[in-house]
Amino acid sequence: MSKYVRQRGGKTLKNGDIVLNYHCCRSGTYKPKEKGVKSLKSQGSAKIGISCPAIVKVRYSTENVVVQYFPNHKNHENELEHLRLSESDRAAVAEQRQSGKDYGLKDEDFVLIIMTDFQKEIITKYGKDKICIDGTHGLNSYDFNLYSVVVVDEHKNGIPVAFCFSNKSSEVVFRIYFSAIKNDVDIIETTTFMTDDAPGFYNASSYVMGTVKNVLLCAWHVTRNWHQNLNKIKNPEKRKIVNKALKT
Ligand SMILES: [Zn+2]
C-alpha cells in the first residue's frame, strides 16, 4: 500500500488545464517545519532521503480529467506506519485487514480522490439539496473506474465536486471516497441522494455521512438504461416507435 501526496500547488497551463502531481509520500527529504518545535515522530521520518519515482500525474480541464499512474517504487519498503493516513483511512485499512473478506484492498490496488478548493466551495454551497454519484467503468486498459460526486446549481447544471479513480469497485473504496470528502468539508447533510442502481454508493455514503431522507435513482441513469436497452431492438422502425413512447 502506498500513499501519494502533493508537494506543491497545482500548475495552470496556457490553455487553462491544471496539472497536479502526487509523489510517493516516502520520496524526498524530511524538512522540519519550525526548528525545535515539531519533533520527529516515534517511528522516525517517513522520508527516505532520496526520491522515489512512483507518481500520479493528474491533468484536468473543463471537459475531462487525465490520470497517469506510475506505480513502481524504488529505494524503500512499504510500511504502513510511514503512511500518513487520516484517522478514518486508518480505521478503514484496519477494518479491511481484520475482516479478511475479499473486498479488502491489495498492495496493487489504487485509489485516487481529487477535490479542488473550488469543488470544496461548490459542494458546501449546493450539497445540502442534492448529491448525485455516478461511476464510469473501464476507462482505459487498466480497467480503472472513475466515480464522480455531482451537485446541481440553481440553473440545474450538474457540477462534479469530487472525483475518485480506482481499479476497485467496492463499498470499501466508496467509504474511503466519502471519508476523504468528509475530512475536507465535514459531513454534508443532503436532502436527496441520487445514484445509479448500485447499492454500494448509498451504503458507503450513509455509513460516513448518515442516512438521507430521499434516495432516488438518477433520472439520467433511467434514460441511459432505456437507451442501452433500445439498442437491443434491431428493427430501426420499432426502435423509433419505442423511443418516441418513452419520451412522452
Ligand atoms: Zn515510493
Cα of 135 from ligand 1 centre, angstroms? 29
pTM: 0.62
Angstrom distances, CA of residue 107 to CA of 72, 87, 209: 12, 20, 27
Cα of 8 from ligand 1 centre, angstroms? 17
Predicted local distance difference test score (pLDDT) of residue 97:
54
Predicted local distance difference test score (pLDDT) of residue 103:
47
Q: What is the pLDDT of residues 170-183, one digit of tens each?
A: 888 899 999 989 98
Cα of 79 from ligand 1 centre, angstroms? 11
Q: Among the ranges 49-63, 133-147, 199-213, which has the highest mean pLDDT value?
A: 199-213
- pLDDT for residue 101 is more than 50: no
CB 205 within 8 A of CB 133: yes
Cα of 122 from ligand 1 centre, angstroms? 33
- pLDDT for residue 66 is more than 50: yes
CA max distance for the chain: 78
- pLDDT for residue 1 is more than 80: no
Cα of 246 from ligand 1 centre, angstroms? 53
Confidence of residue 100 (pLDDT cuts 50, 70, 90): very low
Confidence of residue 185 (pLDDT cuts 50, 70, 90): very high
Tell me the residues surrounding ligand 1 (ion) with CB < 5 Å. Answer: 24, 26, 52, 54, 73
Cα of 108 from ligand 1 centre, angstroms? 13
The rounded distance, in Å, linking the Cα atoms of 218 and 194 is 5
Residue 164 or 93, more confident: 164
Cα of 159 from ligand 1 centre, angstroms? 34
Cα of 40 from ligand 1 centre, angstroms? 20
Predicted local distance difference test score (pLDDT) of residue 68:
83
Label each residue of 73-114 as H, E or C: CCCCCCCHHHCCCCHHHHHHHHHHHHHCCCCCCCCCCCEEEE
Nearest to 75 by CA among 42, 51, 109: 51
- pLDDT for residue 98 is more than 90: no
The overall average pLDDT reported for the chain is 78
Label each residue of 106-141 as H, E or C: CCCCCEEEECCHHHHHHHHHHCCCEEEEEEECCCCC
Q: What is the pLDDT of residues 41-64, one digit of tens each?
A: 555 677 777 888 888 888 888 777
